[in-house]
Structure formats: C-alpha cells, structure tokens
C-alpha cells in the first residue's frame, strides 16, 4: 500500500474556484454551473504538495493494482481484483499498445469501477446501478460482487449477447430497456433504493466524478514504462478515458516529474462523434444523431465537457474513424498477436488516419475481441420501461427484500 488518499474535495474543471467537499460524490455534475442543456462534470482535487517524493519511483508488489497510486486516488474502500498494471506492447515504428484487455473483466473499465464502487462502499449504499450495454456494466457487476454489493445493469435490448452472459455471470440483475428510458429509471433506482450510480445521470455526459481518477493510472503506468509519449490515441465515447489519461499526465507535470503532456487524440466512431461536433460548434458538449456502427462500446449520442478539456489543453484533436478503419486496425493488431474488440481498435485507427507522429506514440486498446462475439443464446427478456415493471423485476430477484 502506498498510503492514504490525499483527495481533498471536488471542483469544477471549468472554474477551479467552484469547489465541493469530497462526500457525497456529485453524480449529477456541478450543481452550480449545470443548465438544462449542458451538465458540467466535477473532478477530484488533491493535496498535491503532500504527494510522497518517491511515489513514481518506489518499488511495489507484483499485485499492487491501483493501490500503488492511493495518494492520488479517491479512497479505495472496495476490495481489489488486481486491476491495472497492464503491459505496453511495442508494435513497431515507435508505436506502443497499452493492452487494457489484461484487466480483471478484460477492459479498462475496471480502473474506473474500483474507484466508483469504492465510493458506493464509503456511502454505505446497498448496491450500485449502471446504464451500460457493454464493458462498464460487467466491470461494475464484478467489483460490486467482490465488495458484497448488489448490482443492477440497465442495458439495451440489442446489447451484444456475449457481454450479457458476462454481466449475468457476476450475479447482477440485467434490465434491458429502450435507450431513452435508461437514465430516468436509473435516477429512480438511485433515489428510491439508495443504489449508488456508477455511470451517468445527466443529459450531456458528466459520469461519476471518481471515474476518470481510475483512468489516470494509465498515464502513471505509461510514465513508468516509457516516460511521456508525444501523443496518446484513445477510443472515445463520452471522453472519460481521454480526460482521465490527460489528467494523469497533467498531474505529473504539476508534480514536476514531467515537462509536458502528450497530445491527446479522441478517436470516435464517425457514425456519431459528439466531441468532434462540440469542437466544430465551439460548444462545451454536443448531442448528435448516431448512425449505424458496430463499435457499440463507444457509439455515443452525447458528449461531455471533460473530453474537450483534454483535447484543448493538450493540443490534440478529435478524429472520427469509420467502422472500416477500425476493422483494418483490428486486423493489424491481430497480425501482431493482439485480438481487440472493434471499439478497442479505434485508437490505432485514429493514428493510422492521422498519419505518423514524431516521437513515441501510445494507442490505448481498451478491451478483448471476445466482447464482440454474437453468442445468440443468451437473450434477456426485455422489461417494460416503467418503475412498476422495473421494481417488479427487482423484487423477483429479491433485490428490494
């Protein structure tokens, strides 16, 4: 263990003068700056001047997981599953792949959920609730099970069956619901059952304030692996991963350990691409229609403010990539012995679209190719999108006792 959390509170990334205590986590974003159209997220602040000098040099156990970075994370009250500590694999010409399929539920989401489920434990919640058709739900279910909490996953009726088998395996209650009903019902489950929400509760994206803190550890690890790269390309949906990785490097600069941050490239499915739209419009977040795409893990109609911060502050770009470009990147990775989910290959697809970058480049590969499999044998019964139907389903699962 690296010691206790140095987290001091929550603040608005847009206006550092606006601060809140650390508890409770503001799962609906910043109450002072949010409007009906745009929600602004909050982020966690730390006593940076108390960070141990040797935090980034000290040796650590082989199962150190996120605990290695405890001073720069919110309190880690949920037990670990050995998340993080993933390898960086050189794939030629100074390009490295950060293979996040090597996490406990085989995606980057485990870094986020160690932090958000820890918040649920600290808040003494009986369970967690998450809206997700993919990796986020499975990861939340695993960390909730490990912590002895209930988990309810609001998913889409057409979510990939492989992922659904996976969520079921951890004993979560899966509620397949139409997209537009998921967030209002999630708020009801949070309000009426006291479940802690570990994903978004707002119109434009804010997410859980503690989530990107977990993603910061990707930057910390890259720093100990190869130093500061010239650029990082991440698969991008809401932009939480993008923001988290950028924040990690920004903290390294703030701590005097790095001279600069890498340029951050948001690799979004061209079928939607809300960050590219927000940059074009000059708005803090955009809502866009989403066309057909197989990159279900990152196909988002709403963006968030945090992703824009990372792109603007780092001198990066939003790079929409087509399904064909992602498939080509996926095939390129397979020839290197790495089988990635289609969405996970968006980072490399973005690099190939942009062309060569001078200096070492890291592409984050978020998840395993297994996630895309069309199992076909595990279709969950859809649930009517009303509180009555949802609470009936929860009672059947003995959730509300």
278 touching a copy of itself, by CB under 8 A = no
The closest alpha carbon to 172, from 380, 384, 387, 392, belongs to 380
Cβ neighbours of 80 (radius 10 Å): 18
Q: Which is nearer to a copy of itself, 12 or 366 (CB)?
A: 366
**By CB under 8 A, is residue 336 in contact with a copy of itself?**
yes
Candidates 40, 143, 195, 249: give the one binding a copy of itself (CB under 8 A). Answer: 143
For the chain, the maximum distance between any two Cα atoms, rounded to a whole number of angstroms, is 59
Residues near 117 by Cβ (< 8 Å), separated by ≥ 6? 78, 128, 140, 143, 144, 146, 147, 149, 198
When asked if residue 400 is in the footprint of a copy of itself (CB under 8 A), the reply is: no
Cα distance between residue 123 and residue 196, in whole Å: 8
Query: In the bound complex, what is the minimum distance in angstroms from residue 282's beta carbon to a copy of itself?
Result: 40
* Residue among 64 and 188 whose Cβ is closer to a copy of itself: 64
Which of 389/397 has CB closer to a copy of itself?
Answer: 397
CA distance 86 to 89: 10
The C-alpha atoms of residue 171 and residue 246 are separated, in whole angstroms, by 34
CB closer to a copy of itself out of 81 and 185 = 81
Q: How far apart are CA 200 and CA 202, in angstroms?
A: 6
Q: What are phi and psi of 276, to 5 degrees?
A: -60, -40
Nearest-approach distance from CB 195 to a copy of itself, in angstroms: 18
N- to C-terminal Cα separation, the chain? 37
Its sign, for the CA torsion 321, 324, 330, 336, is negative
Least Cβ distance, residue 112 to a copy of itself (angstroms): 15
- Contact between 94 and a copy of itself by CB under 8 A: the answer reads no
Distance in angstroms (rounded) separating the CA atoms of residues 231 and 229: 5
Residue 169 engages a copy of itself in binding (rule: CB under 8 A): yes
Site string for a copy of itself, 204-243 (x = CB under 8 A): -----------------x--xx------------------
Q: Count of CB atoms within 10 A of residue 126's CB?
A: 14
Q: Which residues in 350-379 contact a copy of itself (CB under 8 A)?
A: 368-370, 373-377
Give the one residue of 22, 72, 142, 177 binding a copy of itself; rule: CB under 8 A. Answer: 142
Q: Among residues 337, 355, 358, 388, which is the contact residue for a copy of itself, using CB under 8 A?
A: 337
* Closest distance to a copy of itself from the beta carbon of 300 (Å): 25
- CB 115, CB 76: distance < 8 Å: yes
Q: Which is nearer to a copy of itself, 145 or 287 (CB)?
A: 145
Contact residues: a copy of itself, CB under 8 A: 59, 61-63, 65, 80-82, 85-89, 99, 101-106, 142-146, 162, 165-166, 169-171, 221, 224-225, 334-339, 368-370, 373-377
């Amino acid at each position: 263990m690296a010691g206790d959390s140095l987290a001091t509170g929550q603040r608005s990334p847009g206006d550092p003068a606006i601060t809140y205590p650390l508890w409770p986590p503001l799962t609906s974003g910043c109450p002072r700056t949010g409007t009906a159209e745009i929600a602004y997220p909050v982020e966690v602040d730390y006593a940076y001047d108390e960070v141990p000098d040797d935090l980034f040099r000290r040796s650590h156990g082989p199962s150190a997981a996120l605990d290695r970075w405890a001073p720069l994370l919110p309190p880690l009250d949920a037990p670990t599953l050995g998340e993080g500590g993933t390898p960086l694999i050189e794939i030629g010409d100074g390009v490295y792949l950060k293979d996040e399929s090597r996490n406990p539920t085989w995606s980057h989401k485990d870094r986020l959920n160690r932090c958000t489920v820890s918040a649920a434990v600290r808040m003494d919640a009986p369970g967690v609730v998450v809206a997700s058709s993919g990796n986020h739900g499975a990861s939340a279910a695993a960390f909730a099970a490990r912590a002895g909490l209930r988990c309810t996953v609001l998913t889409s009726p057409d979510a990939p069956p492989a992922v659904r088998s996976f969520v079921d395996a951890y004993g979560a209650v899966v509620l397949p619901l139409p997209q537009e009903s998921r967030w209002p019902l999630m708020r009801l489950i949070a309000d009426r059952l006291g479940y802690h929400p570990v994903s978004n509760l707002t119109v434009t994206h804010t997410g859980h304030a503690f989530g990107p803190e977990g993603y910061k550890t990707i930057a910390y690890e890259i720093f100990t692996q190869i130093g500061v790269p010239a650029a990082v390309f991440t698969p991008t949906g809401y932009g939480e991963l993008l923001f988290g990785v950028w924040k990690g490097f920004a903290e390294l600069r703030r701590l005097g350990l790095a001279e600069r941050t890498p340029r951050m490239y948001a690799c979004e499915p061209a079928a939607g691409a809300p960050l590219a739209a927000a940059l074009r419009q000059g708005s803090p977040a955009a809502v866009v229609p989403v066309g057909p795409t197989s990159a279900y893990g990152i196909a988002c109609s709403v963006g968030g403010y945090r992703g824009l911060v990372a792109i603007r502050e780092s001198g990066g770009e939003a790079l929409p990539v087509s399904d064909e470009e992602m498939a080509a990147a996926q095939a390129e990775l397979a020839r290197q012995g790495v089988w990635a989910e289609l969405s996970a290959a968006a980072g490399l697809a973005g690099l190939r679209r942009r062309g060569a970058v001078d200096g070492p480049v890291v592409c984050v590969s978020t998840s395993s190719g297994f996630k895309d499999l069309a199992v076909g044998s595990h279709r969950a019964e859809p649930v009517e999108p009303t509180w009555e139907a949802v609470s009936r389903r929860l009672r059947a699962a003995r959730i509300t006792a």
